[in-house]
């Protein structure tokens, strides 16, 4: 490692950094959305399914209409619609959130595979990078300013979620609902409506995450192309102890290890490639588990009502 880094110049570092940012982007969208959902006290395990539906919707609409913007809108709408089904089942009909979320993932995987057969192998024009004038012409670091709009968007989303949760009254209300829906209800706040909105926000961002996979990261449709990223997003939220900044850093860690293990495979390390492919998942979880051992942080940030049904009349 020391010898490798000794030879690594800035010119080599920048591409790695760029790939890291890109690889982390879908995770950031999915995990920040799920963070908002969980902060309201709802556990939606359907992220993987919603990402796949979003990926397919964006690809299908993008290919048919030739406009990626329409594809993204379709991805958000489709995934939000799926999350609306989840919200109806768990919030209105009081179904078990874990079971319903798992069903949602299975449904999303199956439906996207079924509908997606017609789109496999079709070409799509990948998203064009947003070139920031002047900055992008800087030597070396310029590459950081020639990325997709959605990479910058992910950072904006992080800032917005953090500001929303910390500074706004609506964010305070959301956290309060996740902490104790009974108390929030007794103070006269619309618990169910707030949770509906949170779940649909999470659905929409999962849709964007999926869309990014099929239109930017690997511009094509492949069955099951989210490859467990929805589950990693869920794990990120938990191990980041429901803090947006930690979600962001966890996603970058995942992205960095993903890129580095590709380089390692390229160098022809004598390690089975399956082991290396596993590395980002293992490393992210191990690091986050070590960070989040402090029980006080967990108690203060974990939504106390997470995963529990709430009935206003009980």
Partner 1 sequence: MIESVSGTGPRLVLRGIVKRYPTIVANDGIDLTVGVGEIHAVLGENGAGKSTLMKIVYGLTRPDEGSIEWEGRPVAISSPAAARQLGIGMVFQHFSLFETLTVTENISLALDAEIEPAALASCIRDVSRRYGLPVEPHRLVHGMSVGERQRVEIVRCLLQSPRLLIMDEPTSVLTPQSVLKLFETLRRLAGEGVSILYISHKLDEIRALCDVATVLRGGKVSGTVQPRSETKDSLARLMVGSEIEPCQLRPRQPGPVRLELTGLSMASEDPFGTSLQAIDLRVREGEIVGIAGVSGNGQAELLAALSGELQVADRGQIRICGQAAGNLGPAQRRELGLTFVPEERLGRGAVPAMSLAHNAVLTGAHFGMVRGGLVRNGAAREFARATIAEFQVRGGDERSAAENLSGGNLQKFIVGRETKLAPKVMLVAQPTWGVDVGAAQMIRQALLDLRDRGVALLVVSEELDELFMICDRIAVLARGRLSPPVSTAELTLESVGALMSGGANDAPADDASPGPGGREAKARLDV
Give least dist CB 304 to partner 1, A.
Answer: 7
User: Interface with partner 1 includes 179 (CB under 8 A)?
Assistant: yes
Give the C-alpha separation, 126 to 52, whole Å. Answer: 18
Give least dist CB 241 to partner 1, A.
Answer: 12
CA distances (Å), 21 to each of 29, 207, 214, 227, 239, in order? Answer: 12, 19, 17, 18, 20
Question: Does residue 35 contact residue 242 with C-beta atoms inside 8 Å?
Answer: yes
- Tell me whether residue 142 is exposed, middle or buried, using C-beta atoms within 10 angstroms of its C-beta: 0 to 12, 13 to 18, 19 or more: middle
User: Interface with partner 1 includes 176 (CB under 8 A)?
Assistant: yes
When binding is defined by CB under 8 A, the residue of 13, 120, 138, 183 that contacts partner 1 is 183
The strand pairing partners of 147, in sequence order, are: 130
When binding is defined by CB under 8 A, the residue of 130, 175, 279, 309 that contacts partner 1 is 175
User: Interface with partner 1 includes 296 (CB under 8 A)?
Assistant: yes
* 63: CB partners within 8 A, 6+ apart: 119, 122, 124
For 46-78, b/e burial (b = at least 16 CB within 10 A) is: bbbbbbbbbbbbbbbbbbeeeebeebbbbbbbb
User: Interface with partner 1 includes 291 (CB under 8 A)?
Assistant: no
Give the C-alpha separation, 45 to 101, whole Å. Answer: 4
User: Interface with partner 1 includes 192 (CB under 8 A)?
Assistant: no
Question: Does residue 93 contact residue 309 with C-beta atoms inside 8 Å?
Answer: no
Give the C-alpha separation, 23 to 257, whole Å. Answer: 10
Site stretch for partner 1 (CB under 8 A), options 54-62, 123-131, 184-192, 268-276: 184-192
The strand pairing partners of 130, in sequence order, are: 147
Interface characters, 154-173, with partner 1 (x: CB under 8 A): ---------------x--xx
When binding is defined by CB under 8 A, the residue of 180, 219, 279, 285 that contacts partner 1 is 180
- Applying CB under 8 A, the site for partner 1 has a residue count of 21
User: Interface with partner 1 includes 309 (CB under 8 A)?
Assistant: no
User: Interface with partner 1 includes 288 (CB under 8 A)?
Assistant: no
When binding is defined by CB under 8 A, the residue of 19, 136, 277, 301 that contacts partner 1 is 301
Interface characters, 236-275, with partner 1 (x: CB under 8 A): ----------------------------------------
User: Interface with partner 1 includes 60 (CB under 8 A)?
Assistant: no
When binding is defined by CB under 8 A, the residue of 8, 93, 155, 187 that contacts partner 1 is 187
Helix (H), strand (E) at residue 308:
none
Residues that bind partner 1 (CB under 8 A): 169, 172-173, 175-176, 179-180, 182-184, 186-189, 295-296, 299-301, 304, 313
């Amino acid at each position: 490692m020391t010898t490798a880094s000794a030879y690594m110049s800035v010119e080599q570092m920048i591409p790695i950094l760029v790939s890291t940012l890109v690889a982390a982007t879908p995770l950031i969208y999915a995990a920040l959305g799920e963070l908002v959902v969980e902060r309201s006290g709802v556990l939606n395990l359907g992220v993987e399914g919603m990402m796949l539906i979003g990926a397919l919707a964006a690809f299908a609409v993008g290919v048919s209409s030739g406009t990626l913007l329409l594809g993204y809108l379709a991805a958000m709408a489709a995934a939000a619609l799926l999350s609306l089904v989840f919200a109806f089942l768990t919030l209105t009909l009081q179904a078990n959130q874990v079971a319903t979320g798992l069903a949602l993932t299975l449904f999303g995987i199956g439906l996207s595979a079924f509908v997606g057969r017609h789109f496999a192998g079709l070409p799509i024009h990948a998203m064009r990078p947003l070139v920031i004038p002047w900055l992008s012409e800087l030597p070396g670091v310029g590459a950081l300013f020639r990325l997709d709009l959605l990479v910058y968007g992910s950072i904006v989303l992080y800032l917005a979620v953090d500001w929303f949760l910390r500074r706004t009254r609506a964010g305070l209300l959301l956290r309060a609902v996740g902490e104790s829906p009974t108390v929030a209800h007794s103070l006269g706040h619309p618990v169910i409506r707030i949770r509906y909105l949170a779940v649909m926000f999470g659905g929409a961002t999962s849709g964007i995450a999926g869309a990014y996979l099929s239109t930017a990261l690997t511009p094509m449709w492949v069955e099951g192309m989210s490859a467990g990223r929805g589950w990693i997003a869920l794990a990120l939220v938990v191990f980041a102890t429901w803090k947006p900044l930690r979600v962001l850093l966890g996603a970058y860690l995942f992205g960095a290890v993903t890129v580095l293990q590709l380089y390692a495979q390229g160098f022809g390390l004598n390690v089975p490639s399956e082991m290396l492919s596993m590395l980002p998942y293992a490393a992210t979880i191990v690091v986050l588990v070590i960070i989040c051992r402090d029980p006080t942080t967990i108690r203060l940030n974990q939504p106390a009502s997470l995963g529990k049904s709430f009935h206003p009349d009980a």
